[in-house]
Amino acid sequence: MPSQSVDVTVVVPCFNEETVLPSFHRRMLSVMAELPSSCEILYIDDGSTDQTFQHINGFCLGRHVRGIRFSRNFGKESAIQAGIDHAKGQAIILIDADLQDPPELIPDMIAAWKSGFDVVNMQRECRGKEGLAKRFSAKLFYRTIAKLNGRLHYPNEVSDFRLIGKEVIDSLKQTSESSRSFKSMVSWCGYKSIELQYKRDERFAGETKWNLWSLSDLAIESIMSVSRKPLRLFSFSAAFLFFVCIFLNLYSFWQGAFSASVFALLVISFLGLGLAMIGEYLGAAYQEIKGRPGYLIADTVDSESMEAENAGPASYGVFNVVSTEAIQQCS
C-alpha cells in the first residue's frame, strides 16, 4: 500500500512512560480528529523497560501511528534525532509524553506554521511549582547561552515543545554532529520563528527522568554545540594572568620580600579549570571522530503494516491498548 502524504509528524520521545501514555494517546487522537491537516504520531521508545512499547504496539491498531524502539536508553536528544530522521511530515512537532505540553495547542502551532513561520517555539509563561534551584539554574543557562552566542536567537523558557518546518528539518539533516542539543541546533539553523505563550502543566503521571547531573550534562552540551567562547575566554584570562605574573615577579624581585605562593595557588586552580574545559572540547571532538550512530533501532511498528497483517480496516480515532500477545493472536 503506498504511504499517504503527511503534513505533520508529531514526534513523542518516551522513556518508561507506561502510566501516562494511554492518556496522552487518547488526547492526541481527539486533537488529530479535529485537525484539517493530515497528521501522524511517531513514538520513539528510548529503551523503556516497562510496558511503553506494548502500548505503542496497541496504538498502531488505529491509523497514522508509528513506533520505533531503541536497543537501549540513548537519551532524549537521540530520540529526537530519530524522530527527525524518520518523520514523513512536512513539519515536525516535538512533544513530551507526560502531558506537561498540552496536545490541544497543536492546532495553534500548525496555524502559525501555515501562516509562514518555519519554527514555532512554545514558551512557558511560568515555571509553576518548580523549585528555586531549578528556576535559578534555568535562568542562568538561558542568560549564559544568549551572552555566549549573540548571533543566535535563543528564546527564554522554550523547551523542546516546538514545531519545525521543512527547511529546518532539511538543515538539521545536513548537519552531521553526533553529539547534539536540539535546542541549540534549531537556534543555529535560524529561519523565521515565533514564540507562542503557554502554561506548562504538571507531569500527569510517572516521574521526571532528569536529575541535576543529567541537566548539567545537557547544559554543557548545549553551550559547547554553539560556542567556543569558553575556550576563548580562558585564553584571554590566561594571557592576562601571565602578564600579572610577570609584573608580580618583577615587583618581588625589586622589593626582595614578595611571597607568591598564594598567588601560585590561584594560577594553578585557574589552569586546572582551563584544562578541564579543553578536555571537554577534546572529548566532544573524540566522540565525533568515532562516528558512531546516535541510536540503534531494535524494533519498529506502524499502523499500515498492522492493518495489512490484520487484513481489516483500522478504525481511526479508536483508542486501543492491547498486549503483544493479543497482537500476535490477531495476526
Please tell me whether residue 16 binds Mg ion under the rule CB under 5 A: no
Alpha helices in the chain (DSSP H): 21-34, 52-59, 76-86, 106-114, 132-148, 166-174, 182-189, 212-226, 229-255, 261-290, 303-310, 324-330
Please tell me whether residue 17 binds ligand UDP under the rule CB under 6 A: yes
Q: Alpha-carbon distance 120 to 92, whole Å?
A: 10
**Residue 19 binds which entry of ligand UDP, Mg ion, none, with Cβ cut-offs from 5 to 8 Å by kind?**
none
Helix axes 21-34, 106-114, angle to 10 degrees: 40
Residue type, 66: R
Q: How far is the CB of 73 from ligand UDP (least distance, A)?
A: 5
Q: Are strands 8-14 and 91-94 parallel, antiparallel or unpaired?
A: parallel
Site stretch for Mg ion (CB under 5 A), options 74-82, 91-99, 110-118, 188-196: 91-99
Please tell me whether residue 68 binds ligand UDP under the rule CB under 6 A: no
Radius of gyration for the chain, computed over Cα atoms and rounded to the nearest angstrom:
24
Among 77, 98, 101, 221, binds Mg ion (CB under 5 A): 98
* Cα angle for residues 236, 242, 246 (degrees, 5° grid): 150
Count of residues in contact with ligand UDP, rule CB under 6 A: 17
User: Nearer to ligand UDP by C-beta: 95 or 226?
Assistant: 95
Q: 178-217: which residues touch ligand UDP (CB under 6 A)?
A: 203, 208-210
Residue-level length of the chain: 331
Site stretch for ligand UDP (CB under 6 A), options 97-105, 220-228, 235-243, 261-269: 97-105
Nine-digit cell string for 94 = 516535538
Q: 31-50: which residues touch ligand UDP (CB under 6 A)?
A: 46
Q: How far is the CB of 306 from ligand UDP (least distance, A)?
A: 23
Among 23, 37, 38, 73, binds ligand UDP (CB under 6 A): 73
